[in-house]
Amino acid sequence: MIVTRFAPSPTGYLHIGGLRTAIYSYLWARKNNGKFLLRIEDTDLARNSKEAADAIVEAFKWVGLSHDGEILYQSERFDLYKTYVQKLLDEGKAYKCYMSKEELDALRAEQMAKKERTRYDGRYRDFTGTAPLGIEPVIRIKAPIDGQISFVDGVKGEVVFNAKDMLDDFIIARSDGVPTYNFVVTIDDALMEVTDVIRGDDHLSNTPKQIVVYNALGFSVPRFHHVPMILNPEGKKLSKRDGATDVMEYQKEGYLPETLLNFLIRLGWSHGDQEIFSLQEMQEWFDPTDINKSASAYNKEKLLWLNAHYIKTMPYERIIEELKYFGVDIGLHVRKEVLVDAIRDRAKTLKEFASQVQQILDAPQSYDEKAVEKFLTKEAMAVLEDYLAVLIAKGMMSEASEFEEFTKAFLEEKGLKLKDIAQSLRIAMVGNSVSPSVFEVLSIVGYNEVIKRIQNLIQGVRVES
RNA sequence: GACCCCAUCGUCUAGUGGUUAGGACACCGCCCUCUCAAGGCGGGAACGGGGGUUCAAGUCCCCCUGGGGUCGCCA
């Protein structure tokens, strides 16, 4: 049985880097009919918030990642952790350290001055004297002083650390009794029976510490997979300044969850030359040992391309549903399918999609100056007036093909080309010289409204000139 | 600074000793065309440097360089 987990600390929103490791963990569990668990690491009472924890859950919901079982909050497990602290204390594998913060700082400063690695010097490791007054001790674990700690990482391969330059007797419980990260992570992963820890490679150097805890507590060590980070387009560490690092920001910008999933999984992982993956395919083919060792830069162009791809291939109902988020409801429009098809090749995001729909649905309030100047010549206006007259005479039409047939017949009789009317008609419909095919636009706008908009343009332009 | 990780087109990547180094995004050109897209076709574009090992190295080893991470009573 494969058990994976995602264990964010709720200090803010869900970051796309975090989402990527979550996806990897999710996929690996699902592929193996295992379990994917969610744990909130909120032991740092001062920096965590309920809102942040909820935001993470909300983001999970949006992208469609489902976790198994209840969400585990570390803040509710302090008593449990304390029993393990006590166990180590009883077994002599951990001890109380009465060094004050000031002393610790001084020690670090001294080591820094000597250009040494900063580390606790173990002064209370074998302390048997009387405890200094007025100091609440921290609990430190006895870490190996020499030898090596090695493990086989699913992504990086064999990683070896020398105990003497990686480890010191690190704190497992603060002076207020609250246990620390490296300690609780280990206990929870062991108790939750996590078999595969998939996390960012910024945790790589925490791993030997955690192995110390696994060993001290007699737990078996899981497999680790340290996933490289995501870089910004400049190749630097992705930070909040880089814009959309919050997963929910992508919804606001009009990206689909499948786009983000596909983009993120493909960043650092591949399956031959394939670019587009269904969730099924991801589940079938994903293996954490295939994750690339090197960091990869975030590329917005590719994200847009992927989003465009999903928009182009998405069922009507789904698009109509998604559009509601952007305040556009075309569910009752008679030509909703023509409308969707007219826009889907032209919008890279749902946000763009919504605004393009709006542009066709709403009668133009003004006309683009450059377009007017360029296309609404005297001749063009004359043609448009003729067209209007014939259009009114002809009577009701609705399909795009009907408008096309009608218009072509009109042009042929006049000895004109489509060029001679397309742009002026387009300006009448949407106010500028860019839109989907005019015939589709005419059909979407509808016969009566088409007439109205042409009349508006004719009147409007006359007033101006 | 110490320790660790990493290194193929601008970017994401394929590649597991013998390849004209492949694909995708982006870019450029052509085609299609009522505008804009979409689509089709084509193009330029990479193995960081230096040593080895080998008949043969992008692929294995070492060094350098460059990038990144970690060194908290944060997670």
Quick one: which of A273, A298, A271 has its CA closest to A283?
A: A271
Per-residue pLDDT of chain A (465 residues; tens, 9 = 90+): 999 999 998 888 899 999 999 999 999 999 999 999 999 999 887 777 888 889 999 999 999 999 999 999 999 999 999 999 999 999 999 999 999 988 999 998 888 888 888 889 999 999 988 888 888 999 999 999 889 999 999 999 999 999 988 899 999 999 999 999 999 999 999 999 999 999 999 999 999 999 999 999 999 999 999 999 998 887 788 877 776 789 999 999 999 999 999 999 999 999 999 999 999 999 999 999 999 999 999 889 999 999 999 999 999 999 999 999 999 999 999 999 999 999 999 999 999 999 999 999 999 999 999 999 999 999 999 999 999 999 999 999 999 999 999 999 999 999 999 999 999 999 999 999 999 999 999 999 999 999 999 999 998 765 444
* Complete DSSP assignment for A127-155: --SPPPTT-PPEEEE---SSSEEEEEETT
Specify the pLDDT at position A289. Answer: 93
Residue A423 to residues A32, A371, A432: CA-CA distances in angstroms?
A: 57, 8, 8
* Three-state SS at A173: strand
- What is the CA A294 to C1' B51 distance in angstroms? 25
For CA atoms A408, A414, A417, A422, the dihedral sign is negative
User: CA–C1' span, A231 to B68, in Å?
Assistant: 10
The catalytic site residues of A sit at 240
Q: Are the CB atoms for A150 and A159 separated by under 8 Å? A: yes
Find which nucleotide's C1' atom is closest to A174's CA: B73
For strand B, the positions having any atom within 7 A of a protein Cβ are: 1-8, 10-14, 22-26, 33-39, 67-75
ipTM of the prediction:
0.94
Protein CA at A304 to nucleotide C1' at B23, angstroms: 19
This prediction's pTM: 0.93
Q: Which pLDDT belongs to residue A465?
A: 44
What pLDDT score does A213 carry? Answer: 97
Domains delineated in chain A: 1-67+228-313 (3.40.50.620), 78-173 (3.90.800.10), 317-464 (1.10.10.350)
